[in-house]
């Protein structure tokens, strides 16, 4: 009989070998009132892989991410992270899984009463209790340097631009060295240059940390730049999933229209 630790170890080894996916979502359904948002979506993401979820506004892309991290509960279907089904987990149990996950919110969601430095230090302060103040400070500096924000330690979130807020949000999401990264519209509301910078940054961090990532976006250029695989959502379903070239070859009317307009 295998212990939980042995199962986790076996899962980790399989994930590293690429044979076991890190994120497995099966037949997810989610409605809000009479509005069906997701209608039986399934997806898998392996270690080191980035999946971009595309679609029109209001097709449930962000809801999908919130389901994966457990901020929403699916009406039916299952989500497994590192082989563990997240259904029915209590908040603290889900917290153990979330320690290995990073989430970048669409509006960054930085804590507005904390400085940039304190925002990034927040997860470390709560989960790395054995870390000394100096070590924590070094780690925060390293993270902020990685996203090009090392010169803004003492600034409040309200004093920096939207693009900078997203960088800080990204640094905060990486603080606990997650092996799952979820990004909700990382380039939304940014100018083309800032968008490009964020794309480069995500790509660089992805190559460095080999995380399993899901990027939700409606920006096809961004998706093409940072993801190896794309999934296009429409009316709660995945219309097509594959590489950008596979999307281009599709004869589906919606896929063609989406690519044409993007």
Partner 1 sequence: MIDQQAIAVASFDPPLPVPEAAVLSPTASSSKGLIMQFLEWFGDLGMFFWQVVRAAVTPPFEFRELFRQLDEIGSKSLPLVALAGAATGVVLSMEARYSLTRFGAKSLLPAAIVFSVIHETGPIITGLVVSGRVGAGIGAELSSMKVTEQIDAIEASAVNPYRLLAATRILACILMLPLLTLAADCSGLVMGWVAQAAVEPLSFHQFINSGFKGADFSDFLPPTFKTMFFGLIIGLVACFQGMRTQGGAAGVGRAATSSVVLSSLFVILADVVLVKLILIFFP
Residues within the interface to partner 1 (CB under 8 A): 32-33, 35, 37, 58, 60, 62-63, 66, 69, 71-72, 91-92, 95-96, 98-99, 101, 103, 105, 107, 109-112, 122-123, 126-127, 129, 172, 176
Q: What is the DSSP letter of 103?
A: E
Closer CB to partner 1, 21 or 55, in the complex: 55
CA gap 56, 255 in Å, rounded: 11
Please give the structure tokens belonging to residue 171: 């640094």
- Min dist. Cβ of residue 91 to partner 1 (A): 5
The distance of closest approach from Cβ of residue 246 to partner 1 in the complex, given in angstroms and rounded to an integer, is: 28
Nearer to partner 1, 114 or 259 (CB): 114
Distance CA 149, CA 119 (A): 12
**Least CB distance to partner 1 at residue 174 (A):** 12
Minimum distance, C-beta of residue 13 to partner 1, in the bound complex (Å): 24
b (16+ CB within 10 A) / e for 66-93 = bbbbbebebeebebbbbbbebeeeeeee
Quote the CA–CA distance of 182 and 190 in Å, as a whole number: 18
Is the Cβ–Cβ distance between 190 and 166 less than 8 Å? yes
State the Cα–Cα distance between residues 30 and 40, nearest whole angstrom.
Answer: 8
In the complex, the smallest distance separating the C-beta of residue 200 from partner 1, rounded to whole angstroms, is: 24
Q: Which is nearer to partner 1, 13 or 96 (CB)?
A: 96
Residue with tokens 């039986």: 40
Nearer to partner 1, 6 or 107 (CB): 107
Nearer to partner 1 (CB atom), residue 14 or residue 109: 109
């Amino acid at each position: 009989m295998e212990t939980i630790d042995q199962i986790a170890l076996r899962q980790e080894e399989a994930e590293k070998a690429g044979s076991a996916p890190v994120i497995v979502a099966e037949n997810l359904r989610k409605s809000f009132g009479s509005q069906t948002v997701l209608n039986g979506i399934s997806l898998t993401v392996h270690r080191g892989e980035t999946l971009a979820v595309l679609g029109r506004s209001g097709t449930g892309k962000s809801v999908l991410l919130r389901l994966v991290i457990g901020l929403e509960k699916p009406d039916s279907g299952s989500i497994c992270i590192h082989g563990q089904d997240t259904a029915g987990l209590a908040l603290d149990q889900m917290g153990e899984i979330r320690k290995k996950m990073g989430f970048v919110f669409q509006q960054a969601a930085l804590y507005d009463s904390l400085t940039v430095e304190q925002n990034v230090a927040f997860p470390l302060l709560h989960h790395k209790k054995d870390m000394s103040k100096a070590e924590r400070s070094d780690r925060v500096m390293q993270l902020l340097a990685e996203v090009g924000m090392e010169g803004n330690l003492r600034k409040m979130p309200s004093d920096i631009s939207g693009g900078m807020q997203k960088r800080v949000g990204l640094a905060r999401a990486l603080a606990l060295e997650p092996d799952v990264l979820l990004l909700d519209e990382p380039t939304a509301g940014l100018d083309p240059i800032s968008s490009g910078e964020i794309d480069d940054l995500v790509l660089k961090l992805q190559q460095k940390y080999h995380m399993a990532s899901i990027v939700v976006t409606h920006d096809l250029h961004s998706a093409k730049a940072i993801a190896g695989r794309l999934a296009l959502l429409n009316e709660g379903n995945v219309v097509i999933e594959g590489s950008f070239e596979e999307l281009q070859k599709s004869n589906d009317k919606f896929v063609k229209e989406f690519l044409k307009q993007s």
